[in-house]
């Protein structure tokens, strides 16, 4: 349990009292869409040791190591290597994996660029410092807690009572936040928010209600974690920058949260160091392991450029300007895990794409002199915007997040056919700009995407982690004339998969010309770009909600779009019951008579055990008998007649009856035991 201390409301009444409390509490202790993996209960383990490291951890786990490794989604060999190589990895008394980010000495302050909200890098009003949200309304939350906390019942407590964690304090005054501290908090939030911009998660400094962080069961889709930025005094006795449990983000217990970042070990609250540590420790909560190489568990990165020197978030990000999630594409990488896929499997989904990725799904740009903010959510993402421009000079500028950008951006201008007219991707820069002379009135497209640079096996990096916020501005001469009117009619707006829906754009009109082209985006990643189909029939084989977009272009190059949502449901599920297992055991009396007990487990199509199901079991072989018995908590026991003959006792389940369910017994389940 975590209780927050708002310093604005007398967080700590006196430093002497605080010191006393803390002393009492001293404790020694590519990117693909991936569904959350619902893991079984963690294996029951009880060690006497509070923590185990390296060889001691491997030896203590012993025969249980493959089981623990499997729970964490890795092989026994890889898990063993990780424990032996990475001294930061620890096993606690329950067999759980956590990380202590050891340091030889406290980190010196890390320099940063000039002060620069997430996109523009500007400060919000200081009174809003504890009201910052990167994606308000998201079902997932990462709470950056700078306010201090009283921890009870967590794994960090280890039966020691309450831990009183200090608030963030860089000026020695624990009674109030100074202007410098409030600014520092905002800048740290900006950096962490940018690191997690590709995910559907709200990075916030505002204390959420408990239900926004805790998870009741696997059906509860609103949950999160806390990164507590505090002083290590009285919290955890170590020379380390932070500690966190691995793979607990979607856990139904809060015992293994929060993750902890110790600002006093990080350049006395250095903006960059604290932010890098916060993103790193949150990453452990999402199931991510350290990115290292053959010589170290923490890779410090490569390249020396002031803007594009690169490091992985799960390595050491303190010393490089460009820090991204990784899948081990650098030379000698010790960890090849796909960070985005692993985080998704622990319940942190990627954001939905904010803008269309093709010319026929392009979003209208806000006009000449306009500005558009957006997010590149994955390496394959392209955000495309359409403009109606007359002949003249076109200029556009593309900038990444104003502070600690993760995206190296490419800017492209295309004509109405999608042919590239100009592109910009400067070396050793994350931004881009284009100046181009548009030759004639028409529709043009501006495309934004992420990229890599150079050789990732040397000093470069790939496009994998080049995701995040961007701001696009463009100036041009707006075209005159009337745009066509797109009209989209559908034969239905819902159906059962496979659903064949007729999409008709033939009623589209143009007041000062003719409609020349019809472009279709079917909302499932497919479409038609020939421009010739006024109507088309699309079959949706997979259930889901699809947004169909029709874009029409007139003879002057102007365009407009219309959309329609199509809901496709799955056919009504067929409820079935079947035999999950038949377990036989034989007993032979002193007189040589054998009897067999058969325990039968009955489940439905979801694997759930079913009670009150009438099960018909038929014995054959050396005995013959048939009975109908009802399951209790999914189980039923059939006892065979006795026999002294040699041969096999064979039980076959010939039927299961339960109201509302059919018996799934195409191949009748059977098992036998012989003597």
- What pLDDT was estimated at residue 479? 86
- The tens digit of pLDDT for each residue in 517-573 reads 898 999 888 888 888 999 999 999 988 899 999 988 888 777 788 999 999 988 777
In a domain, 348, yes or no: no
Q: Which residues of 522-559 are buried (b: 16+ CB within 10 A; e: fewer)?
A: bbbeebbbebebeebebebeeeeebebbbbbbbebbbb
**4: pLDDT strictly greater than 60:** no
Report the distance separating Cα 279 and Cα 193, nearest Å: 9
Comparing 27 with 80, which gets the higher pLDDT? 80
Contact by Cβ (8 Å): 462, 455: no
- The domain boundary, picked from 510, 539, 569, lies at 569
* Same domain for 109 and 239: yes
| Cα three-residue angle 286-291-294, rounded to 5 degrees | 150
**7: pLDDT strictly greater than 50:** no
* Same domain for 79 and 146: no
* Same domain for 529 and 436: no
* Rg of the chain taking only CA atoms, in angstroms: 31
- What pLDDT was estimated at residue 26? 30
**146: pLDDT strictly greater than 70:** yes
**359: pLDDT strictly greater than 90:** no
* Same domain for 604 and 460: no
Comparing 25 with 3, which gets the higher pLDDT? 3
CB atoms within 10 A of CB 217: 6
Report the distance separating Cα 207 and Cα 174, nearest Å: 19
- What pLDDT was estimated at residue 23? 29
Token readout for 439 is: 């030759």
In a domain, 81, yes or no: yes
In a domain, 3, yes or no: no
How many folded domains does the chain comprise? 5
Q: Please, which residues bridge with residue 312 across strands?
A: 324
CA distances from 352 to 54, 140, 199, 201 (A): 40, 14, 9, 11
| % the chain with pLDDT above 70 | 94
Give the mean pLDDT of 371-392: 94
Report the distance separating Cα 244 and Cα 238, nearest Å: 13
* Same domain for 264 and 119: yes
Residues 6+ apart with CB under 8 A from 24: 161
* Same domain for 116 and 150: yes
* Same domain for 259 and 114: yes
**155: pLDDT strictly greater than 80:** yes
Comparing 263 with 50, which gets the higher pLDDT? 263
- What pLDDT was estimated at residue 21? 27
94: left (phi over 0), alpha (psi -120 to 50) or beta: alpha
* Same domain for 162 and 199: yes
Report the distance separating Cα 474 and Cα 218, nearest Å: 46
Q: Please, which residues bridge with residue 363 across strands?
A: 385
CA distances from 571 to 494, 500, 522 (A): 13, 14, 21
Mean pLDDT comparison of 106-110, 294-298, 550-554, highest-scoring range = 294-298
- What pLDDT was estimated at residue 29? 29
* Same domain for 387 and 472: yes
Report the distance separating Cα 160 and Cα 152, nearest Å: 9
Comparing 557 with 144, which gets the higher pLDDT? 144
Token readout for 317 is: 């990000």
In a domain, 390, yes or no: yes
**12: pLDDT strictly greater than 70:** no
Domain that holds residue 654: 576-674
- The tens digit of pLDDT for each residue in 592-602 reads 999 999 999 99
365: nearest Cα among 314, 323, 414:
414
- The domain boundary, picked from 254, 288, 322, lies at 288
CATH of the domain at 462: 2.60.120.380
Report the distance separating Cα 254 and Cα 419, nearest Å: 53
The alpha helices in 321-473, defined as continuous H runs, are 339-345
613: nearest Cα among 578, 567, 588:
578
- What pLDDT was estimated at residue 360? 77
Report the distance separating Cα 224 and Cα 40, nearest Å: 19
* Same domain for 154 and 109: yes
In a domain, 324, yes or no: no
- What pLDDT was estimated at residue 1? 61
CATH of the domain at 536: 2.60.40.10
This prediction has a pTM of: 0.74
In a domain, 62, yes or no: yes
- What pLDDT was estimated at residue 414? 97
How high is the mean pLDDT of the chain?
90
How is residue 11 annotated by DSSP? S
* Same domain for 88 and 115: no
pLDDT classification of 15: cutoffs 50, 70, 90:
very low
In a domain, 13, yes or no: no
- What pLDDT was estimated at residue 8? 30
- The tens digit of pLDDT for each residue in 162-203 reads 999 999 999 999 889 999 999 999 999 999 999 999 999 999
Residues 6+ apart with CB under 8 A from 210: none
* Same domain for 208 and 222: yes
CATH of the domain at 640: 2.60.40.1930
- The domain boundary, picked from 245, 273, 288, lies at 288
In a domain, 208, yes or no: yes
Distance between first and last Cα of the chain: 58
Contact by Cβ (8 Å): 375, 198: yes
Comparing 9 with 76, which gets the higher pLDDT? 76
- The tens digit of pLDDT for each residue in 466-520 reads 999 999 999 999 988 888 999 999 999 999 999 999 999 999 999 989 998 898 9
Q: Please, which residues bridge with residue 386 across strands?
A: 364, 445
- The tens digit of pLDDT for each residue in 416-436 reads 888 999 999 999 999 999 999
């Amino acid at each position: 349990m975590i209780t927050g201390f708002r310093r604005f409301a007398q967080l700590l009444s006196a430093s002497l009292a605080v010191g006393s409390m803390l002393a009492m509490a001293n404790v020694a202790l590519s990117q693909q869409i991936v569904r959350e993996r619902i893991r079984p209960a963690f294996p029951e383990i009880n060690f006497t040791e509070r923590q185990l490291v390296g060889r001691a951890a491997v030896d203590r786990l012993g025969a249980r190591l493959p089981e623990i490794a499997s729970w964490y989604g890795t092989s026994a060999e890889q898990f063993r290597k990780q424990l032996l190589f990475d001294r930061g990895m620890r096993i606690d008394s329950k067999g759980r994996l956590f990380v202590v980010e050891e340091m030889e000495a406290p980190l010196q302050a890390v320099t940063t660029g000039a002060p620069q909200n997430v996109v523009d890098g500007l400060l919000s009003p200081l009174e809003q410092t504890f009201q910052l949200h990167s994606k308000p309304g998201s079902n997932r939350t990462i709470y950056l807690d700078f306010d201090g906390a009283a921890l009870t019942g967590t794994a960090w407590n280890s039966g020691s009572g309450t831990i009183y964690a200090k608030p963030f304090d860089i000026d020695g005054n624990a009674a109030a936040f100074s202007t410098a501290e409030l600014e520092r908090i905002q800048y740290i939030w900006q950096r962490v928010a940018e690191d997690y911009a590709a995910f559907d998660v709200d990075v916030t400094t505002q204390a959420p209600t408990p239900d926004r962080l805790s998870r009741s069961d696997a059906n509860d889709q609103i949950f999160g974690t806390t990164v507590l930025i505090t002083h290590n005094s009285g919290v955890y006795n170590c020379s380390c920058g932070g500690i966190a449990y691995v793979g607990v983000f979607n856990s139904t217990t809060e015992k293994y949260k929060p993750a902890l970042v110790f600002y006093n070990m990080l350049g006395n609250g250095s903006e960059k160091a604290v932010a890098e540590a916060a993103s790193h420790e949150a990453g452990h909560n999402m199931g991510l392991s350290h990115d290292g190489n053959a010589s170290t568990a923490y890779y410090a990165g490569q390249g020396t450029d002031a803007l594009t020197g690169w490091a992985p978030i799960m390595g050491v990000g303190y010393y490089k300007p460009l820090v991204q999630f990784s899948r081990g594409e650098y030379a000698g990488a010790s960890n090849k895990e796909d960070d985005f896929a692993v985080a998704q499997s622990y319940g942190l989904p990627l954001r939905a794409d904010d803008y269309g990725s093709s010319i026929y799904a392009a979003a209208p740009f806000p006009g000449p002199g306009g500005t558009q903010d957006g997010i590149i959510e994955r390496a394959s993402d392209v955000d495309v915007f359409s403009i109606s421009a007359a002949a003249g000079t076109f200029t556009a500028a593309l900038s990444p997040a104003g502070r600690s950008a993760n995206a190296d951006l490419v800017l492209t201008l295309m004509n109405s056919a999608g042919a590239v007219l100009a592109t910009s991707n400067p070396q050793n820069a994350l931004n881009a700009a284009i100046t181009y002379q548009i030759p004639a009135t028409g529709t043009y497209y501006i495309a934004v995407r992420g990229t890599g640079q150079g050789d990732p096996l040397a000093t470069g990096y790939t496009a994998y982690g080049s995701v995040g916020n961007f701001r696009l501005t463009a100036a041009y001469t707006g075209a005159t004339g009337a745009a066509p009117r797109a009209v989209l009619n559908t034969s239905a707006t819902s159906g059962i998969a496979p659903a064949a829906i007729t999409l008709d754009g033939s009623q589209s009109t143009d007041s000062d010309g003719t409609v020349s082209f019809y472009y279709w985006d079917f909302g499932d990643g497919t479409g038609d770009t020939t421009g010739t189909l006024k109507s088309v029939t699309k079959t949706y084989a997979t259930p889901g909600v699809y947004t169909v977009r029709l874009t029409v272009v007139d003879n002057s190059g102007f365009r407009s779009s219309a959309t329609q949502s199509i809901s496709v449901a799955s056919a009504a599920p067929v409820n079935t019951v079947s035999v999950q297992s038949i377990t036989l055991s034989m007993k032979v009396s002193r007189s040589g008579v054998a009897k067999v007990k058969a325990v039968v487990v009955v489940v439905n199509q979801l694997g759930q055990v079913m009670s009150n199901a009438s099960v018909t079991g038929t014995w054959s072989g050396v005995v013959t008998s048939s009975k109908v018995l009802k399951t209790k908590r999914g189980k039923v026991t059939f006892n065979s007649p006795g026999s002294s003959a040699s041969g096999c006792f064979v039980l076959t389940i010939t039927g299961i009856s339960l109201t509302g369910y059919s018996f799934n017994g195409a191949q009748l389940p059977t098992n036998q035991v012989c003597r």
